[in-house]
Structure 1
């Protein structure tokens, strides 16, 4: 089983947690080139490109200018991102065995780095999938990554048994030739819904929290098949057989 999840917009400047080892991102060369391309933009241009305020834009101008400096800090990917999903995944108590298992069974998407493993060392950045770079023929980052990631992604999933648990946001499919992925491996997408007025509704903050909690559940318990995944429970969310269908597992809070 392989899990894949989305990166977060927010990132830590430092983290003192010890990890058993670190690795180099598979697409580090491409990430360095992307960072160099992003370093050409002014604060005002970054604010427009990334849909962020001037303060965040200035911070990211500095990040990109320092990106290739050997003195700029790198962190393992799973400790670098600080969004809701990663807070609920909460790797603070991971054992060495947990980290090793996560390294083999978890991918994190990244518009700068493509795909990351938990212990891949990365630097802080901000990038969006709709950014178009002249150096990439004015393609979006989605379009840039698609031919680079698809075969690699499929091959890595197949190494782990050919089952992908899709805990990423919907837009991340656009990083891949998704039809090719679904033809090559089994994809199961957990959905998290809250019943309101008798109808199941997606509440984004709960969905993000559940994605993090489910990722933690899989990694900590070494879950390897869909049937075992049905036992996931968190804060009242439980597997809903009635709503679930092929390729989609629903967990609901009533």
Structure 2
């Protein structure tokens, strides 16, 4: 079983978490090419391209400018991202065996690096899927990555038994030929919702936290079978069996 999560917009500048090793990303060459293209944009253009404020644009101008510097040491991806999902995964208390299990069973999307293993070394950056780089023929990063990632992703899932636990945000499907993915492997999508005003609603921050907690649950408990995901619970989110189907798991918070 392979688990799939989204990258985060926010990243650390360095990491002090001890890891057993730092590995080389599958698409590192492509990432360097992408970073060099992004380094050509001045901060005001990055502000518009990334839809960020001037401070964040200036920060990422420096990141891309220094991307290939020898002083810019790569960090393991699972420790580099600092969004809600990664805070709940909490890699700082992983054992060596936890890191190696995650390395085999967890994948992380990246608009710069394509697809990452947790110990793959990456450098700070910011990029969006709808960015179009002239040297890539003007296609979006989604369309750039799709032919590069689809076969690789499917083969990675099949290596782990042909079952994918999709804990990524919806837009990440566009990095792949998702119809092919669903045709060739079994995709299980957990959903985390809250009863509010008499109906089920997705609260984004809760959903992100639950995705991180479930990824941690899978890693820490070495979950290999989809049926065992039903045992997951966190802060009042429990399996809602009546709303589940073969490839959809519903977890509901009844009393927020």
TM-score by length of 1: 0.99
Note if contact 1:13-1:73 (Cα within 8 Å) is conserved in structure 2.
no
Distance (Å, rounded) in 1 between the aligned partners of 2:31 and 2:91: 25
CA distance in 1, matches of 2:197, 2:51: 35
Alignment partner, residue 131 of structure 2: 131
Partner of 2:180: 180
Runs of 4+ in structure 1 over 4 Å off:
none
SS at match of 2:135: helix
Q: Is the counterpart of residue 164 in structure 1 residue 142 in structure 2?
A: no
Distance in 1, matches of 2:131 and 2:211, equals 26
What SS does structure 2 have at the residue aligned with 1:238? strand
Q: Which moved more, 1:73-82 or 1:196-205?
A: 196-205
Instruction: Indicate the residue corresponding to 2:109 in structure 1.
Output: 109
- 1:195 and 2:173 are equivalent in the alignment: no
- Asked whether 1:8 is paired with 2:8, we answer yes
Shift of 1:59: 0.5
Unaligned runs of 5+ residues in structure 2 are: none
Q: Is the 8 A contact 1:163 1:187 kept in 2?
A: yes
Coordinate RMSD, CA, aligned: 0.6
Structure 1 gaps of 5+ residues are: none
d(CA) in 1 for partners of 2:77, 2:18:
13
Residue 83 of structure 2 corresponds to residue 83 of structure 1: yes
TM-score scaled by structure 2?
0.98
* Equivalent position of 1:119 in the other structure: 119
Q: How many residues matched?
A: 254
Residue 145 of structure 2: SS of its match in structure 1? helix
Which whole-Å CA distance do the structure 1 matches of 2:199 and 2:73 have between them?
A: 47
Contact 1:189-1:249 within 8 A present in 2 as well = yes
Query: Counterpart of 2:153?
Result: 153
| 1:21-52 CA distance string (max 9 Å, x none) | 11000000000000000000000000000000
